[in-house]
Amino acid sequence: MAWHDQDSWLTAAFAPKLSTIVVTLLLTLLLPILLHHFIYRRATPTTLPTFLLLGPSGAGKTALLTLAERNQVAATRTSTSPLAVEALLPEGFTPASSHYRSPGDPTFERSRCFLLVDTPGHGKLRHFATAQLADLSNVRGIVFVVDAAAVAEEAGLNEAAGYLHDVLLTLQKRYTGAKTSKGPKEIPVLVAANKEDLFTALPQHLARLELEKAISRIRKSKATGLKDSGVAMGGEEDAMEDEREWLGEGGEGPFEFQQMEEVGTSVTVLGGNVLGSEGSDVKGWFEWIAEHL
Amino acid sequence: MLDTFEILTTSGVVLWSRSYAPVSSNIINSLIRDVFIEERIQPQSGDAGQKPTYRKETYTLKWTTAKDLGLIFVAVYQSLVHLTWIDKLLDNVRALFVGLYGEQLKKEHTSKLDCSNFAPYFERQIQDLEGSSDSATSNVKLTPPSSTDNDSADEKSLKPPALRKQQHQLYDTSADSTPVPTPETSRPTTPAQHHLITGKGRPGAKLSRRDRKKASAASTQPSSGDETSAKRKAKGSAKKNRVWGEFGAEEEDSSVVLDYSQSDIRDEGSATEALEEIKQETWGRKTGKGEFVLKDIDEEMDQIIAAENAKKQSSTASGGIVGSSLGAIGGLFRNVVGGKTLTKEDLAKPLKGMEDHLLKKNVAREAVVRLCESVERDLVGLKTNSFTTIDSTLRTSMEKALTKILTPTSSLDLLREIQTVNATGRPYVISIVGVNGVGKSTNLSKIAFFLLQNHHRVLVAAADTFRSGAVEQLGVHVRNLKELSKREGGEVDLFEKGYGKDAANIAADAVAHASKNGFNVVLIDTAGRRHNDQRLMSSLTKFGKLAKPDKILMVAEALVGTDSVAQARNFNASFGPGRGLDGFVISKCDTVGDMIGTIVSMVHATGVPVVFLGVGQHYADLRGLNVSSVCRLLMS
């Protein structure tokens, strides 16, 4: 039976039969509906804007995360695995992206949603954070939580500054190593000086100064320190090892957070406290998040 | 007595906790740090039934985990108290919690979990187990010690509480209208029964269903008439219809259940039967007396635990012949495609291969076993990702384990530490120890060269007063270094007192000399000693006390094999309590190619980080450790 026969399917499809009309009608009516569903199903799981929580162990990252999620702080312990949580910006904060949106707009609610990713801060578990830093496509900002009371002491300051140095260096490398001339998206960093309610805590401007000083020291000792074993032991990144990794602008001057703006990273230091006898004071941090949402 | 019980996630959020006495949060934090992260304390794997313990300050901690859900269950109690039932409690609570909230926990992007109604379950468990342990002693007296016939012993010991129970029931019916005493008085009876069931010292896994049946039978016997037993039957049939997959629905009931005893009584007082009748079919068992309701929680609990245990058993033991053959084909398929839940058997073969691979890389057997165990713990019960084979999953997991073991806990920036110590006005003292001929003096001069490049004033102290030529050898090094550092601005000198003197005294003198003459850093060379020679090793204690080194580095050669673990352990312990090594220098790394397993063995044995690697013959051939490159070499 060839296609040009009397009762071939092609002839039937063009013939004024009832079945043909019904099929055509169904097709024309249902196809848009199906298409609509297909497309909208696909569009709904949009990736939320992400904020990354970094910082040394015991700074209060997980506590801040629970505060952002449920508006009250849960008891926390040392984390050993990362955690991503969908959080809503609290009432009274307007995301910068929906500044001109009316509060009645249904999309307003959605624009206040963001994903908060917690990473373990223990020295041996930093690889979770490194993995997160390697892919920053959805990340709108990094919240680096430090314990303002621990920063007042040498050991705590060194740990926090060392970690912050590494994070900033990764961001700088990302900027300088970009392939396109436009450069990658800017990623702001908030240094959240937590536990300001404690008596021994450094106020935010002092914490900033101390961190800057410590980072300049680290930068210097890193430059004069030993090379990594990677070169000598048959590693292939000889070329990369050659250029010394130097955070901020060159020269012997002290490191300042402002220097990071040149490489697309603005650093803000804000104090606050997640826990405390008079409740938590995290307004500044949420304002910062709102500003970058 | 139990001090605290906590249920927390691996991401650090406490889901549920009950504390009877305040326990500082750093107790549990240190458990997580020492056991889960740094793996400093190895859980004793000797007896399978016992849960590992961890001691901190005056507390003893026991824990168990639910790997797939990322939960940790921790019980904290005073070390003075000996609690035998903690293991059982942990197991039961884990089964209960997973059974009740397992579905909720699988939700992504949230840390919230509403488990406020878990408290009654927990309280019941505690009461049951405490009751059982209290009477366990008396139980032993009752039963003949050699008797294996549990049932006869059961019958005997069941009688007295059954009698008591009858009395209580009489009391209950009389006091029915007064709601307050009923729950209180009925409480001691139920655990009293239960202890006879659980506290028989049987292995925990196989209790439950049979025992429970027995218990319920025993409890119904005395309770007076036919109507109650009829009710029981009705209840039994209602039970069978239940689907235990839907725990969400169950847990909503349970909160009601507790209040129900009281509201029930109130209802009886006001005699509103209309509502009761509607719910009769589903809630029939709950319309009885107060204790029926209470027993229900027990049974529900037991059922959940039994269901969880059964699930575990069924997952470990595969089904029938058809099931197993189908499973084998499916397993093969999934092995390629991924999405396979890993079991111990699946991992055994690839792990063996991995073990051999690491042994070939000169990692000590002990360290290999530990690594493989940690990988196995990490992977068993895990589902492989799609399109990954077991081997590749194992590889990434092993890489992670290696990274974890090699990454130092704190920063190893020597220059910064020197700066900090010098700021307090005293010189920074580094002493070098090690076995004979591993390159102590050579590495000392390398470190000296590195410090000189950073414009430090270095004093080299020759505390090797034993081997002939040792002082002269250092003299040659110092002379060379002087030449090399003339232009750089550093300054180096030798401090020597000849041969035969006491090394500890020379070291102390050198430190005094350095602080008088304004040296920044003192490097003390010591005599090489065999690590299993007590006489030689004991002098290190005195040395550590007199010289007070800020950093004690041990030099080990990369060539050493299995002995590395013993070397590291003995040297780490030789400085007396409270003082150990601060770091390793692994020398002769250039001579072994990619067989650098010694690095892992040393760190495994002591938890002390590797600070330097010696990679050549020149003064400049000293490197820091690059964890990722070492991992790559080991895995290649």
Q: What CATH number has the domain bearing residue B13?
A: 3.30.450.60
Instruction: State residue B622's pLDDT score.
Output: 87
Instruction: State residue B247's pLDDT score.
Output: 52
Convert the pLDDT of each residue in B119-134 to its tens digit: 888 888 888 887 776 6
Return the closest-CA partner of residue B547 out of B379, B634, B400, B429. B429
Which domain does B435 fall in, by range?
414-635
Is the domain of B149 the same as that of B248?
A: yes
CB–CB contact A66 B612 (8 Å): no
Q: Residue B413 is inside which H or E element, if any?
A: none
Return the closest-CA partner of residue A233 out of B621, B161, B503, B519. B621
Q: Quickly count helices (H) and strands (E) in chain B.
A: 22, 13
**Which residues are registered as beta bridge partners of B461?**
B495, B524
Domain stops at, among B114, B141, B169: B114
Chain A interface, best mutation among B24, B626, B634, by max A CB count within 10 A: B626
- E strands, B35-130, are 53-56, 59-66, 71-78
Q: Which of B149-153, B313-317, B534-538, B544-548 has the lowest mean pLDDT?
A: B149-153
**φ and ψ of B123, to 5 deg:** -60, -40
Return the closest-CA partner of residue B18 out of B122, B100, B97. B122
Is residue B608 included in any domain, yes or no? yes
What does chain B come to in residues? Answer: 636
User: Would you call A138 an interface residue with chain B, using a CB distance cutoff of 8 Å?
Assistant: no
**Which residues are registered as beta bridge partners of B477?**
none
Q: Which of A69, A225, A227 sits opposite B111 (nearest CB)?
A: A69
User: Would you call A121 an interface residue with chain B, using a CB distance cutoff of 8 Å?
Assistant: no
CB–CB contact B612 A126 (8 Å): no
Return the closest-CA partner of residue B429 out of B506, B492, B507. B507
Report the C-alpha gap between B369 and B34 in whole angstroms. 19
Fold of A49-291: Rossmann fold (3.40.50)
CB pairs under 8 A between A and B: 155
Is the domain of B214 the same as that of B182?
A: yes
Q: Residue B323 is inside which H or E element, if any?
A: helix B321-337
Is residue B325 included in any domain, yes or no? no
Instruction: Give residues with Cβ within 8 angstroms of B313, minimum separation 6.
Output: none
Helix (H, G, I), strand (E, B), or coil: what is residue B47?
coil
Structure tokens that stand for A251 in this block: 């020269």
Is the domain of B370 the same as that of B514?
A: no
CB–CB contact A81 B10 (8 Å): yes
Across A9-17, average pLDDT: 82
Is residue B86 included in any domain, yes or no? yes
Is the domain of B227 the same as that of B107?
A: no
Q: Is the pLDDT of residue B421 over 50?
A: yes
Task: Residue B339: give its domain's CATH number.
Answer: 1.20.120.140
Query: What count of other Cβ atoms lies within 10 Å of the Cβ of residue A180?
Result: 6
Is the domain of B400 the same as that of B424?
A: no
Helix (H, G, I), strand (E, B), or coil: what is residue B341?
strand
Q: Which of A80, A217, A218 sits opposite B32 (nearest CB)?
A: A80
Is residue B328 included in any domain, yes or no? no
User: Would you call A217 an interface residue with chain B, using a CB distance cutoff of 8 Å?
Assistant: yes
Return the percent helix, strand and coil in chain A, to nearest 5. 45, 15, 40
Is the domain of B180 the same as that of B196?
A: yes
**B88 half-sphere exposure, CB direction, 13 A CA radius:** 25
User: Would you call A18 an interface residue with chain B, using a CB distance cutoff of 8 Å?
Assistant: no
Rg (chain A; Cα; Å): 27
- Residue B603 contacts residue B364 (beta carbons within 8 Å): no
Report the C-alpha gap between B70 and A82 in whole angstroms. 11
Is the domain of B556 the same as that of B419?
A: yes
Q: Is the pLDDT of residue A160 over 60?
A: yes
Q: How is residue B36 annotated by DSSP? A: I
- E strands, chain A, are 50-54, 83-88, 113-118, 139-147, 189-194, 267-271
Convert the pLDDT of each residue in B564-603 to its tens digit: 888 888 998 888 887 888 899 999 888 888 888 888 888 8
Query: Considering only CB atoms, which chain B residues are within 8 Å of A215?
Result: none
Instruction: State residue B207's pLDDT score.
Output: 44
Is the domain of B395 the same as that of B532?
A: no
Residue found by looking up tokens 């939320």 in the block: A48
Instruction: State residue A19's pLDDT score.
Output: 87
Among all residues of chain B, which has the CA nearest to that of A128?
B400
Helix (H, G, I), strand (E, B), or coil: what is residue B434?
strand
Domain stops at, among B114, B137, B157: B114
Instruction: State residue A251's pLDDT score.
Output: 67
Instruction: State residue B606's pLDDT score.
Output: 85
Query: How many structural domains is chain B composed of?
Result: 4
Is the domain of B395 the same as that of B433?
A: no
Chain Cα centroid distance, residue B316: 23
**φ and ψ of B532, to 5 deg:** -105, 20
Percent of chain B scoring above 70 in pLDDT:
67
CB–CB contact B111 A83 (8 Å): yes
Chain A interface, best mutation among B16, B629, B634, B636, by max A CB count within 10 A: B629
Return the closest-CA partner of residue B31 out of B7, B63, B58. B63
| Structure confidence at residue A256 as a pLDDT band (50, 70, 90) | confident
Q: Which of A58, A65, A232 sits opposite B615 (nearest CB)?
A: A232
- Average per-residue pLDDT in chain A? 82
Sheet with strand A50-54: strands edge to edge: A83-88, A113-118, A50-54, A139-147, A189-194, A267-271
Instruction: State residue A41's pLDDT score.
Output: 66
Query: Considering only CB atoms, which chain B residues are within 8 Å of A131?
Result: none
Instruction: State residue B476's pLDDT score.
Output: 93
Is the domain of B308 the same as that of B343?
A: no
**φ and ψ of B389, to 5 deg:** -85, 170
- Residue A65 contacts residue A111 (beta carbons within 8 Å): no
**φ and ψ of B90, to 5 deg:** -60, -45
What does chain A come to in residues? Answer: 293
Across B84-111, average pLDDT: 82
Instruction: State residue A44's pLDDT score.
Output: 53
Q: Is the pLDDT of residue A293 over 70?
A: yes
Q: Which of A58-67, B97-106, B150-159, B477-486 has the lowest mean pLDDT?
A: B150-159
Is the domain of B364 the same as that of B248?
A: no
Between B330 and B529, name the one with better pLDDT.
B529
Is the domain of B276 the same as that of B308?
A: yes
Instruction: Give residues with Cβ within 8 angstroms of B278, minimum separation 6.
Output: none
Q: ipTM for the complex?
A: 0.76
Q: Which of B190-199, B440-449, B605-614 has the lowest mean pLDDT?
A: B190-199
Q: Is the pLDDT of residue B436 over 60?
A: yes
**Which residues are registered as beta bridge partners of B576?**
none
Domain stops at, among B406, B429, B462: B406
| Structure confidence at residue B521 as a pLDDT band (50, 70, 90) | very high
Report the C-alpha gap between A147 and B13 in whole angstroms. 19
